[in-house]
């Protein structure tokens, strides 16, 4: 899975992305936990 995001240059847009996707490692751990054979890295 690839996630491609285009954001505006404003501080508000950047902060919104950080708020929503602030911990990509947590996303990988969550998905990996649900599918232990997925071998996500």
Could you please report the per-residue DSSP string of the chain?
--------SSHHHHHHHHHHSS-HHHHHHHHHHH-TTS---
pLDDT of 38 above 80: no
Q: How far is CA 35 from the centre of its chain?
A: 17
Cα separation, 16 vs 8, whole angstroms: 10
* pLDDT recorded at residue 33: 64
Confidence of residue 3 (pLDDT cuts 50, 70, 90): confident
Cα separation, 37 vs 19, whole angstroms: 29
Place of tokens 């505006």: 8
Give tens-digit pLDDT for 12-22.
998 988 888 77
* pLDDT recorded at residue 23: 82
């Amino acid at each position: 899975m690839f996630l491609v995001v285009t954001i505006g240059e404003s501080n508000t847009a950047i902060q919104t992305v950080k708020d929503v996707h602030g911990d990509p490692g947590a996303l990988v751990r969550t998905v990996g936990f649900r599918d232990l054979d997925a071998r996500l890295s």
